[in-house]
Amino acid sequence: MEINIEVNLSHLNEFTLLGFSDHPNLQDILFGIFLVIYLNILIGNGLIIIITKSDATLQTPMYFFLGNFAFLEICYTSAVLPRMLSDLWTRNKNISLLACAVQLFFFFVLAATETLLMAVMAYDRYVAICKPLYYTLIMNHKMCIQLVIASWISGVPILIGQTYQVFSLPFCNSNVINHIYCDMSSLMMLSCGDTFWNEVSVYADTVLFGFFPFLLIISSYTRIFISIHKLPTKIGRSKAFSTCSSHLIVMGLFYGSAIIAYLQPKDSYRTGIEKILSLFYTSLTPLFNPLIYSLRNKDVIMAMKKLFSKLRVMRE
């Protein structure tokens, strides 16, 4: 009997995403909450994209990266939330093998892009503050485009191989994923095969796309703080720090929530703690990003006021 179950599951064509099905009475409430969150992510980050593209005063490398980062946040959260909203609405928890593989691939590619783009944004602030005379020469338009393209495509070939490796495993323990999306660790826990090399490659990817960009960010901001400390006036130090404080907060939210989730023991996948923690870096961080950048940046606030003024004139 056990052999038949293993054979059937090793040739499965769909998984079951548990999501929040252990709280059946909250399904409609959770749908409403996450729908509002998703719409706010789309609107907030969409506004950032519009103003960084349309306002003449924001045509600088810093806001070019910010516009790309806002677009990335929309893509990143769209890899998870629409599927989760559909599951909450229809109560259908099944996801095909192909759809699961596609979701896993895009989620991790976009997560890798996020860490790389944050490192690029930190480097931009380093050049602007530590090498201001060479800023326009180093961060020219061609260099900005190359850095953005590199951030988007660097993880693609590696994570294609990673996804293929995971879905080449035999799944015979269960087809139930106790998560809100197709997560690498959750999938490996369902396998009855040897996952040692899969786990090694996951750790290697974490170092490559998580730890190294984090080191670059820390290195950039260490040099930035040293340069700011050397400025002669308090006003100068405050102005220099204000140009990178928003990015620091966003970086802290993303890495803080991801590190806490990553350091959780494997039992957290069974108890569901990982599901709660994953909401921070898949939903709340993209939700807060536009607020952080708009409330702490006078140029963004002025650009939004001008945009809304134009919209009022068009209505009249």
Number of folded domains in the chain? Answer: 1
Evaluate whether 221 touches 245 at the Cβ level (below 8 Å): no
Among 226, 228, 46, 209, which residue's Cα sits nearest to residue 119? Answer: 209
Cα separation, 137 vs 274, in Å, equals 45
Q: Residue 233: exposed, middle, or buried by beta-carbon count in 10 A (0-12, 13-18, 19+)?
A: exposed
195-236 per-position pLDDT tens digit: 888 889 888 998 999 999 999 999 999 999 888 887 777 766
266-304 per-position pLDDT tens digit: 655 555 677 777 888 888 889 988 888 776 677 888 888
136-191 per-position pLDDT tens digit: 999 999 999 999 999 999 989 998 999 998 998 888 767 888 888 998 888 888 88
Percent of the chain exceeding pLDDT 90 equals: 44
- What does the pLDDT read at residue 1? 37
Percent of the chain exceeding pLDDT 70 equals: 91
Q: Stretch 37-66: mean pLDDT, rounded?
A: 92
Report the CATH number that the domain containing residue 130 is assigned in CATH. Answer: 1.20.1070.10
* pTM: predicted TM-score of the whole model, two decimal places: 0.89
Owning domain of residue 131: 2-315
Q: Which residue has the higher pLDDT, 292 or 106?
A: 106
Cα separation, 275 vs 70, in Å, equals 24
